[in-house]
Amino acid sequence: MKVRCSVGLYPDPIEAEDCLKCSLDLVMPPCGYGYRLLATLFASENDRSNEIHVTDITGCLLKAYLDKRFPTPEFVHHKLVRWLGTAVHDGLLRTDEHFQAEVPVGNEFLMGRADTIYNNNDIEDVKTVRWYKPSNGIYGNHAHQVNIYRHLARKEGKLRIQYIDLSGPTRCSKCKVPVEMIDCVLQCPRCGYAPRDAHLGAMQVEVLVMDADEVEDFIRSRTEILRNALESGIPPEAEPDWLCYYCPHACEYSYNPQNSRGE
């Protein structure tokens, strides 16, 4: 696996092993990433080049295709946010008498894992975010993802997203302390200020259950497009959205001047 040096000590992509060696040699590298953190980041990477996952078909199909056929070396610090989300998932309770976690679901061509399936067949997907605003409701393609898990798992329960804000509970902009529920209002326990869109660091949002035929058509059509692209080598069309700002690949919608196909 190749990576990009976050502080430019190496202008061209380098092997992850060389990045680790640099951290060991410098002890306190200027990027701030010590050996243990780097080793953990790199060890968390999984090769999905020969698999199609639910997250592949709910996002831009061109990005999914390029991720598998032309993986672009990322800056080390770009991997951190993804790893933090994985670390939160790994830290959650795996199972107890009320639910099962990380339940494999899928079919012949599609793979996925349902974060949480409760005994009453409700499905809950965990998402980490920053500076979450409850008024924004469900982010991105999260509703599609959890509906696909429900369909593949053949469950009939309700759906919801468990958002976990990595920035923590809302804080008073003046007193810098977390809000508390006082008289049914989230407000600062010192000055009484009630910030708009406040939360306690976590929020559950119910997801509308989609029509089963609609979900099945979505799964079939999207999986088929990506499968055909991977088999033929002809990339699918780009599907631009706000995630283009974070995409490592170059296309007509790219916002990152350092993007490269790496062919």
Domain range summary for the chain, segments of one domain joined by +? 44-246
Q: What is the pLDDT of residue 250?
A: 83
Q: What pTM, to 2 d.p., does this model score?
A: 0.90
Give the Cα-Cα-Cα angle 10, 20, 79 (nearest 5 degrees).
80
197: its two tokens: 């869109």
Q: What is the pLDDT of residue 67?
A: 94
pLDDT tens figures, 16-60: 999 999 999 999 999 999 999 999 999 999 888 899 999 999 999
User: DSSP per residue over 51-96, as a string?
Assistant: --BHHHHHS-HHHHHHHHHSPPPEEHHHHHHHHHHHHHHHHS--EE
Residues of the chain with pLDDT under 50: 257-263
The CATH number of the structural domain formed by 44-246 is 3.90.320
Distance CA 246, CA 234 (A): 23
Q: What is the pLDDT of residue 192?
A: 97
Q: What is the pLDDT of residue 263?
A: 32
% residues pLDDT > 70 (the chain): 96
Q: What is the pLDDT of residue 83?
A: 94
